[in-house]
Amino acid sequence: MNQLSGKVALVTGGSRGIGAATARRLARDGAAVALTYVRAADKAQAVAKQIDADGGRVLVIQADNADPGAVTAAVSQTVTHFGQIDILVNNAGIVTGGPLDDMTVEQADRLWAIDVRAVFTASQAAARHMSEGGRIITIGSALAERVPVPGLTLYAMAKSALTGLTKGLARDLGPRGITAVVVHGGLIDTDMNPVDGPAAAALSSLPALGRYGGADDIAAAVAYLAGPDSRYVTGTAITIDGGFAA
């Protein structure tokens, strides 16, 4: 359980859902963890308090992914506080959905800025401080591979872009021994898509397993990718979706 001892991780959007589960898991595996939040300071502090109570090291940073300066500053604060950064988990994101005719350029721009541009910005900033063995792990979506219902065009576009971005990062950073992987999650029980939400009954029929997954399912995949056993995994997507895209 100490496979990440001596490592430092930054998890964007770490105050709730997948980000919170990932921050807790990486800390449990021995990493010092910095996590960012936008508005939910109380939830971020609750995650930090749990990590601290379990004997981990944690730093909480307020940073909005819509602001490139805030994203790069979060990386800098992590390095200044802990002295290094070894693992970046690009988790923060928003969902924009609705009928195609109702979508606006402003919505597309905001989604792109938070879900894609910030991933590039954080990855570029973090890579400057990483040495051999560094890990860049991005949380995508199974909607990059399958869009089973209408109203998700913009979101699917953004999440699909993360696959190409990850492949490019892998090529650019591979000679330095740094890996890049995107994790496409399926129906995961989070605040954005709760298992008791209005569409949950219909959506639950889509995965082959016939149910939602949990944030810890994604966190477990991230923990593997952050650890030494994944040293030959890069430039690819790993899908954790219960058979949603099968």
| Structural tokens at position 107 | 């919505």
CA distance 88 to 34: 10
Catalytic residue among 37, 155, 212, 224: 155
Examine the residue annotation and report whether 155 is marked as an active-site residue of this protein.
Answer: yes
What is the set of active-site residues?
A: 155
